[in-house]
Amino acid sequence: METLGFVVNPIAGMGGRVGLKGTDGMVEEARRRGAEPRAPERARTALETLARRKPELTVYTAAGRMGEDAARAAGYDPIVIYDPPAKGDETTDTSAADTRAAVEAMLEEGVDLVLFVGGDGTAVDVAEVLEDDERETPMLGVPAGVKIYSSVFGVTPADAGRVAAEFDRVEAREVNDIDEAAYREGTVRAELKAVVPVPVASGVQSSKQLSSGSVDGLAAGFAEEIDPEATYVFGPGSTVGAIESELGIDPSPLGVDVWRDGELLVRDAAETEILEIIDDPVVIVVSPIGGQGFVFGRGNHQISPAVIERAESIEIVASDDKLDSIGTLHVDTDDPELDESLRGWVHVRTGRFTTRMLKLE
């Protein structure tokens, strides 16, 4: 690879920690709740990894926050081929149309790869342009969104940079997106949007898969061992939801709930609400995303590094069927030191009395 097209969705992922489960149409609400952009830092991390391996790469990008800033921070001297109407004004948001226009300009330059930073919505925007590309230019995502159901992303920003630098072949992968309004109400309604060429490497994540198998025994066993003195932070998903139901809680299927000694303290909580209400000792209960294996960093951004650091223990729960589809667990919290501290072999509760050891990377 000699030329790269690089585009950033600056607002991707802003809704995660404040409990919005996405940013589509919710940017102002996310800002009102105190959300901070996470895409720019993840963009820089990906390009720094890439630059260490390919410092001579020619990078075509969009102006300002849509790519130029991160490229320069990583040491590149990028060629700016698209200037969004925002003109660098941080109070003005770029749009899906800007992403598509930037990618169109990159294809006109004949780039070898389009590297984008965002979530599933951004992936759809990029794919819509690439579907009409006769050269079949591949695309690769740097994960920055709240929901990532597509199999076109690097596992982490650094992985995306490494894969971009080292790939030597591509394969067809799915771009999926979900209805965010339905998602906020607890319904996952995924739709296949495109099939695109993606670099092949171990650092590209699989698409999300739903597991089968009962978790009734797991939930019953967990409930029997509840510590009445502890504050429990329950992550999203059906497995953790089964535990909550066993405790008499009406769970928010895709949100984070905080519970202590028979009382639901807050349902579908944002990061700030969790930090305000938790009291030591704190137990975080999470289940990895099926097919991908993420414990933190996909769909549960409300459980932020600040929340994780308050935890006395982290309980990972999953059915054997789900673990069989995963193999390895992952973490991607935006805090490299925390990620490193969490890595290693971990116990995963799989039933009333059973556990399995898995590697968390």
Q: What is the pLDDT of residues 103-122, one digit of tens each?
A: 999 999 999 999 999 988 89
Residue 351's contacts (CB-CB under 8 Å, 6 or more residues apart) are 217, 218, 221, 320
What pLDDT, on a 0 to 100 scale, did the predictor assign at position 124?
Answer: 94
Verify that 195 and 220 share a domain, yes or no.
no
| Least confident window among 47-56, 72-81, 91-100, 209-218 | 209-218
Where does a domain end: 199, 226, 245?
Answer: 199
What pLDDT, on a 0 to 100 scale, did the predictor assign at position 100?
Answer: 96
Partnered with residue 283 across adjacent β-strands are 232, 313
What pLDDT, on a 0 to 100 scale, did the predictor assign at position 345?
Answer: 87
Where does a domain end: 199, 233, 258?
Answer: 199
φ and ψ of 277, to 5 deg: -105, -20
What pLDDT, on a 0 to 100 scale, did the predictor assign at position 341?
Answer: 95
Q: How many domains does the chain have?
A: 2
Decide if pLDDT at 27 tops 60. Answer: no
What pLDDT, on a 0 to 100 scale, did the predictor assign at position 228?
Answer: 93
Decide if pLDDT at 22 tops 70. Answer: no
Verify that 156 and 273 share a domain, yes or no.
no
Decide if pLDDT at 87 tops 80. Answer: no
What pLDDT, on a 0 to 100 scale, did the predictor assign at position 206?
Answer: 62
CATH number, domain of 123, equals 3.40.50.10330
What pLDDT, on a 0 to 100 scale, did the predictor assign at position 190?
Answer: 61
Verify that 159 and 273 share a domain, yes or no.
no
What pLDDT, on a 0 to 100 scale, did the predictor assign at position 195?
Answer: 87
Verify that 39 and 122 share a domain, yes or no.
yes
Decide if pLDDT at 224 tops 60. Answer: yes
Whether 117 contacts 12, CB under 8 Å: yes
What is the number of alpha carbons within 13 Å of residue 20 lying toward its C-beta? 22
Q: Report the first-to-last Cα separation within the chain, whole angstroms.
A: 28
Verify that 289 and 325 share a domain, yes or no.
yes
Of the candidates 317, 318, 296, which has an alpha carbon nearest to the alpha carbon of residue 306? 296
Whether 81 contacts 105, CB under 8 Å: yes
| Length of the chain as a residue count | 361
Verify that 159 and 226 share a domain, yes or no.
no
Let me know if residue 209 belongs to a domain: no
Let me know if residue 17 belongs to a domain: yes
Let me know if residue 147 belongs to a domain: yes
What pLDDT, on a 0 to 100 scale, did the predictor assign at position 241?
Answer: 94
Verify that 249 and 189 share a domain, yes or no.
no
Segment 74-89 shows an average pLDDT of 82
**Structural domain containing residue 85:** 3-199
Let me know if residue 207 belongs to a domain: no
Let me know if residue 205 belongs to a domain: no
Let me know if residue 288 belongs to a domain: yes
Verify that 62 and 157 share a domain, yes or no.
yes
Decide if pLDDT at 129 tops 80. Answer: yes
Let me know if residue 206 belongs to a domain: no
Per-residue pLDDT tens over the stretch 272-293: 999 999 999 999 999 998 888 9
Percent of the chain with pLDDT over 90: 59
Per-residue pLDDT tens over the stretch 169-181: 998 888 887 655 5
Decide if pLDDT at 59 tops 60. Answer: yes
Task: Give all strands (DSSP E) within the chain, no chain letters.
Answer: 3-8, 58-62, 79-82, 113-118, 139-143, 170-178, 190-199, 231-234, 257-260, 263-266, 282-286, 294-296, 313-317, 330-331, 344-349, 355-360
Average pLDDT, the chain: 86
Tell me whether strands 231-234 and 3-8 are parallel, antiparallel or unpaired: unpaired
Decide if pLDDT at 212 tops 50. Answer: no
